[in-house]
Amino acid sequence: MFVIHGMSPGDVVPTLALMSRHIHPEDRGQVLDALGRCGVDGEPFGCHYRLLDLGGAERSVTLTGAGATDDGGLRTVTGFLVDITAAQRDAVAHRVNEELTQALRSHAVIDQAKGAFMLGYGIDSDSAFELLRWGSQQRNVRLLTLAERIVAAVEVGGGLGSDTRQRLDDFFFASLDESAGEPAAQRTSPTLGITFDTAGDVPLVKVEGPVDLATAHQLTAAVTQLMIAAREVGAMVVDLRDVTHLGSVGVSALTAAHRRSASAGVRMRIVLSPGTSLGLAGAHGLDVISAPADDGASTNGRAIPTS
């Protein structure tokens, strides 16, 4: 008891008043309440509090005790005071280490998912992270959970595909060549070819290139702009005949645009080349048609059905 308070036995007479002065002000009330209740009913108690020793150092202690009645009927409280400062410090350090390990693991998984996007779409680290963040917000999925799912899917699927492997092989061996020089300082972000036109009096947007997670926002912006111009005539055409790939995120973007156009009273028609589905076959509710060579109005020398 004396040592914990920074004293030597015999330095002072231990009293409740002396003890209370060494209890942290924020903890003093609960400790005195516990002692007071025990002095009345004699029930065992235990409490944890911060103790300020004679030198002003703060210690973490646990006080346990129980009441007893002596021969004269006077109730006394006896118990133990245990210094748990070191144990608590170790527990805090262990918890911090666990949290740090988890944070580092989370960072590593997110970096892996970013790397997959960077390799797959040819984008930089910031753009890859923005794609992850966008997906997390769109579906209300924790960023770490989304990254873990992406990494697991890539691992189970055997990587990013043969084309990506071949290109990575080429990049790897080219990078081993001392004459290869430094890589370009700036990365070219993937873009779609977007051309606005009309088919008769119907506004039209022609899209060229791959529509995937890295470029779907460009498709959304183009269709939104087209929808504004189409309000007067109540119809618009999205020409996907030069789209080389339409990923699931592109289908989702078109489905959302279809809902918005229907709400605005605008009919949105999606035009594909004959025999090409681009993954839209299972997209229910979309107005998807082929483009016969001799039907409807034309733009850039190609027929566009408008009705």
* Burial (CB count within 10 angstroms: exposed 0-12, middle 13-18, buried 19+), residue 21: exposed
- Whether residue 68 contacts residue 75, with contact meaning beta carbons closer than 8 Å, is answered with yes
203 pLDDT more than 90: yes
Considering the domain architecture, whether residues 203 and 288 belong to the same structural domain is answered as yes
Count CA within 13 A, CB hemisphere, residue 2.
8
Distances (CA, A) of 199 to 220, 232, 287: 20, 15, 16
- Kindly compute the dihedral angle of the four CA atoms of residues 85, 88, 92, 93, in this order, to the nearest 10 degrees: 70
Q: Give the pLDDT band (50/70/90) at residue 133.
A: confident
Q: Give the pLDDT band (50/70/90) at residue 197.
A: very high
Token output for 240: 């996907």
- Per the listing, tokens 């009705």 go with 307
Considering the domain architecture, whether residues 174 and 203 belong to the same structural domain is answered as no
Considering the domain architecture, whether residues 199 and 296 belong to the same structural domain is answered as yes
Instruction: Quote the mean pLDDT of the chain.
Output: 82
Considering the domain architecture, whether residues 210 and 272 belong to the same structural domain is answered as yes
For residue range 208-223, list pLDDT tens digits in order: 998 888 888 899 999 9
Considering the domain architecture, whether residues 290 and 203 belong to the same structural domain is answered as yes
Considering the domain architecture, whether residues 62 and 157 belong to the same structural domain is answered as no
For residue range 45-73, list pLDDT tens digits in order: 999 999 998 888 899 999 998 888 777 66
**Parent domain of 252:** 193-304
Count of domains for the chain:
3
Considering the domain architecture, whether residues 176 and 202 belong to the same structural domain is answered as no
CATH of the domain at 154: 1.10.10.10
CATH of the domain at 238: 3.30.750.24
Q: Give the pLDDT band (50/70/90) at residue 283.
A: low
